[in-house]
Each structure stands twice: as structure tokens, then as C-alpha cells.
Amino acid sequence: MKKSAVSILTVLIILSITGAIFYMVSGNYFPLNSELDNSDKQNDKMISMFNTEIDKEIQDHTQSTMHPGYIPEARQHTIDYLKTIRSIESYARYGAKSTQPRNYIELKITFADGTVAEDIYTGHPCNAYMGPCLVMKVEMQDGKAVKVFTNGQEKKGSPDWVKPDINIMIDKAISYDIDRNHDHYFEPQKTQQDFDKEWENQK
């Protein structure tokens, strides 16, 4: 009888400890939407930072020797594409406070015609073990940033620390159009007929 009582007590203790650990961990592992998932804090000092990055990305994606292969028209296509964007918003897949694996930063692009592209993959992880992630929204006009809103996390560190986050937003927004309109940026992809002709001419 005593052994049964001890066994039951042991099980209850283990279950209590397990439940407490799960409760503490799950708060960050499966967090509900929090105020840190909202980009509602305006930061005008980041407008020039965004525009500097936009100019840099236009250069890098169309003329830089580090990114060969772009056709001469790619630069103007990039500029024209950016002018169609009303806003770019970043968010964490599982929340800015989540420590869940594969909690990547994704983008939502709203265009001037009202169409929206969501769940744009960036490959950039949001790992909240070190603190909540920075999420941002940049409003654009004529291809330039005019307003920037964040969840306030940029103030936790140096302005230089947020430059990679800005780079990701602009770079991946441009990459979205490259994926949809390859021929606006590169020579048309070869077809099977092109390969057949190359083999015929092979000596």
C-alpha cells in the first residue's frame, strides 16, 4: 500500500514538473500574437537608411561586378518595379517572440494597384532566444521610402545593427519580381530547341 502511494506521488510530482516546464517554455515556443508583432512605432530616422539601401540594391542588382549577368535594361526595370510598391512589411512566421525552429522572417508586399503578395520567403531566421526580433513596415512612394514603422526593437541596439534587416527587405522584394519576370533582368532562358541547336553545331 505504501509503495503504491509513493509511486502515485512520484508520478504526480513528475507530471507537475513536466507541466511547469512546458508552461514556461511554450510561452515562447508557441507564443500568441503580441504587441511586438505590430509595426506601429514610427521612426523617421530610418527613412534615409532605407533609401540608401534602395539605391545600393539597384546598383548591386543591375551593374555590380558581384552580380554578373544582368541585361542593360535591368536597372530601369528595377526602378520601375519599385515605383509600383506601396509598402513592404516584414513579420516573423511564428511571431517576433517565438523560439520555434524555422521561424523565418517573411514579407508582405502591397502594390499601388491594391494587389498583395504575402508569405514571401527571405531565408532569414528570427531566433528570439536573444530577444524579440525586429519587424518593420516601410511605406513607399515613387520608389522611395516615405515612412517607416517598426515594433521598436531597433532601439535596443546601434543603428548599424538594423542595416542587414533593411537589406533583406529590399533585396527580397526585388528578388520577388525577378522570379516573376526573369526576362526583365536576364537574357531569356534557353529552351530545348536552343539546346538541340547547340548540339547540332557541336564539332
What are the residue boundaries of the structural domains of the chain, listed by start? 1-30, 33-187
Q: Which residues contact 38 (CB under 8 A, 6 or more apart)?
A: 151
pLDDT of residue 22: 43
What does the pLDDT read at residue 62?
74
| Residue pair 146/139 in contact by the 8 Å Cβ criterion | yes
pTM of the model: 0.78
Give SS3 for 58: helix
Average pLDDT estimate for 73-77: 92
| pLDDT score of 24 | 41
Q: Of 70 and 68, which is predicted with more confidence?
A: 70
Minimal CA–CA distance to 53: which of 158, 141, 169, 154? 169
Q: What digits encode the pLDDT tens for the residues 132-159?
A: 999 999 999 999 999 999 999 999 999 9
Task: Check residues 152 and 36 and name the one with the higher pLDDT.
Answer: 152
